Every structure is written in structure tokens, then in C-alpha cells.
């Protein structure tokens, strides 16, 4: 028996102002996108901004539905919009920010499992680690460089191939 240790690296910033300008701009785009979220059931408004390799920024936000599971998270809305409108363009970064009308979101919001799986596939297509920047409505920002840090040992397309 061998023990395999998995490690994650998270860069924690006290304030958005501590990030490079390109990252601040991307997070501010996510904060703006939050404003158009449709979240009448959770009151939890999430925005996502995807940066493509040609500098294009694609926005998304959560879109809820009265049949709850029919809704979609901000991250997948943004990534699928990028895939649909800019096919073949590599995804460099995604910024995520969340706001609630019921309480202050002081901790960075990490993507749900389904969004991590979708990110993982776009990362593989992009052939480079995807940087993920996460924040709440106030407080600090967490940054990870690559899905490996939040979705280690992921199921991916290689698993479908006969070895």
C-alpha cells in the first residue's frame, strides 16, 4: 500500500486592491455581472467573468428557475457562453464574486462541484492551467492557478480511452 498525498495551493489576498490590474479588472467585471443575476429564490447573486486568450471577457451570472434544478450557476453560464460564442479560444482565467441580499458574503465563494468539472474540461481544451479568482461581496480574494488545486484527481476524457 502506498499513500498518495494531494496538495493544493491557494493564494490569499486581503483586498482586491492587492491584485494586479488585469485581475482587478476581471473581478470588477464579475462584480458587474452579479447585478444581472436572476436569483429570486436564493437571493444569492453570483457573477463570473471569463478571460479568453485574445483578451475577450465573457460574462455570466446565475439564472434560477422555479423548478430549482433547472437553474444554472454563474460559472457555467459564463463558460458555456464562451464556448458557444468563441469556440476554440483558450480560457485563461475566471473571476467569481457573490452577493446576498440577506447577509454579507465575507468569504470567497468557491465554485460548486459541477462547475469545477466543467472548468476542468475547458482547462484541458485550453492546454494551460486556468486561474480561478474568488471573492464574496467584501473581504479578501482567493486565487488558485489550475483546477488541480480545487478538483484534484478529476475524471477527464483520458478516462474514456482504452489504455
Provide the binding-site residues for ligand THU, judged by CB under 6 A: 39, 42, 44, 46, 62, 64, 71, 73-75, 109, 111-112, 115
Residue 146 corresponds to which cell in the numbers above?
489550475
As measured in angstroms, the least distance from the Cβ of 50 to ligand THU is 13
Min dist CB 160 to ligand THU, Å, is 27
The residue behind cell 493564494 is 11
Quote the cell numbers at residue 9: 495551493
Q: Return the number of the residue (72 or 154) whose C-beta is nearest ligand THU.
A: 72
Q: Is 75 known to be catalytic?
A: yes
**CA 106 to CA 32: how far, in whole Å?**
18
CB of 77 to ligand THU, least distance (A): 8
Query: Collapsing DSSP states into helix, strand and coil, what is residue 70?
Result: helix
Question: How far is Cα 115 from Cα 30, in angstroms, rounded to an integer?
Answer: 16
Residue among 3, 64, 75, 131 flagged as catalytic: 75
Point out the residues that are catalytic.
Answer: 75
Amino acid at each position: 500500500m502506498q499513500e498518495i498525498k494531494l496538495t493544493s495551493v491557494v493564494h490569499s489576498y486581503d483586498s482586491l486592491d492587492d491584485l494586479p490590474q488585469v485581475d482587478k479588472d476581471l473581478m470588477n467585471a464579475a462584480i458587474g455581472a452579479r447585478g444581472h443575476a436572476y436569483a429570486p429564490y436564493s437571493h444569492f447573486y453570483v457573477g463570473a467573468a471569463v478571460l479568453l486568450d485574445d483578451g475577450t471577457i465573457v460574462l455570466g451570472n446565475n439564472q434560477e428557475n422555479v423548478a430549482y434544478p433547472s437553474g444554472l450557476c454563474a460559472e457555467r453560464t459564463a463558460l458555456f457562453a464562451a464556448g458557444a460564442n468563441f469556440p476554440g479560444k483558450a480560457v485563461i482565467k475566471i473571476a467569481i464574486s457573490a452577493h446576498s441580499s440577506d447577509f454579507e458574503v465575507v468569504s470567497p465563494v468557491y465554485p460548486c462541484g459541477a462547475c469545477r468539472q466543467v472548468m476542468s474540461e475547458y482547462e484541458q481544451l485550453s492546454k494551460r492551467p486556468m486561474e480561478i479568482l474568488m471573492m464574496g461581496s467584501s473581504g479578501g480574494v482567493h486565487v488558485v492557478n489550475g483546477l488541480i488545486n480545487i478538483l484534484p484527481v478529476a475524471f477527464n476524457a483520458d478516462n474514456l480511452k482504452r489504455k
